Amino acid sequence: MADAARFDPARKVMDLEAARAWRRSVRGPLVFTNGVFDLLHRGHVTYLVKARAEGAALVVGVNSDASARRLGKGDGRPVTRDADRAFVVAALECVDAVVLFDEVTPCEAIAALEPDVLVKGADWAEDAIVGADLVRERGGRVVRVPLEAGYSTTGILKKAGRGEA
């Protein structure tokens, strides 16, 4: 049981100030990505693994409940509370830190953490990626990762609503 604390995902969930302090300990390129990550699924995990492969450490910005609602994902979204979504994302081996953010965009977190690489899904147009300018101004790069077809939280919710197996 003594080792349980070592594996506790809660240790990777940080406020922005703690994440800034943690960031100073990162050796090598820091990767940042963000999302709601409601009902974590294979597509999310594949995406995060690919994001982590772009650098030495991966920090994931997770939209707070209020932020996710402002994105207009639909009634009853997010399904899972922000603290729980952050905890589950933090449990992934490929994720080194998680920061919840209340704003609609992760711009403040990106500015504070100064990642070397910003990753978003290829469904985002390059000129629509929030924070890309901040990362590039510092000599960093922006990577668009192809999404794994057939996986989405919306799809899962639709299927669950129909009672399909």
CATH number of 10-96+108-113: 3.40.50.620
Residue with tokens 């469904």: 123
Residue with tokens 């294979």: 42
Among 4-8, 34-38, 65-69, 128-132, where is mean pLDDT lowest? 4-8
| Sheet with 57-63, edge to edge strand ranges | 13-14, 97-101, 57-63, 30-35, 117-121, 141-145
* 94 vs 161 pLDDT, higher one: 94
Question: Which one-letter DSSP state was computed for residue 126?
Answer: G
Question: Which one-letter DSSP state was computed for residue 4?
Answer: G
Q: How confident is the model at residue 103 (pLDDT cuts 50, 70, 90)?
A: very high
